[in-house]
Amino acid sequence: MTEEDEKKAQEEAEGEKTQADAKKSEDEAKAAETEKAGGTEGENPIIKAEKVLEEIKKENDRKESLIKRDEDLTAKKMLGGVTQAGQEPAKKVETPKEYKDRVMSGKL
């Protein structure tokens, strides 16, 4: 029975280690999230606002360049036109009235 008791004690110790590791990982994740969100919790709100403002300005500049690029592409498409080169012409389907007119006129 002593071997069984030792095994149980060892399993419990391993379980406690895993829980401690999980808690440590949770704490590290929370710290990383806090840092990503704008620094430490006691940071000056003005500094946070300035950081957010800087991020917003960067994002607006990026969006502005994307809009300009989209406008350029749209202009090129409009000015480029459409060509039939390399395409097969669409075949016209003859209506019964057109067939009758063609046959009656003798243009076969």
Whether the CB-CB separation of 38 and 48 falls below 8 Å is answered with yes
How many domains is the chain built from?
A: 1
**Has residue 71 been placed in a domain?**
yes
**Has residue 18 been placed in a domain?**
no
The residue whose two tokens read 């076969």 is 108
Helix (H, G, I), strand (E, B) or coil at 84: coil
List CB contacts of 40: < 8 A, sequence separation 6 or more: 34
pTM over 0.75: no
Domain hosting residue 69, numbered range = 44-78
Provide the residue-wise pLDDT of the chain in tens; the chain has 108 residues: 566 666 666 666 666 666 666 666 777 766 666 666 555 556 789 999 999 999 999 999 999 999 999 999 999 888 887 777 777 878 889 999 999 998 998 876
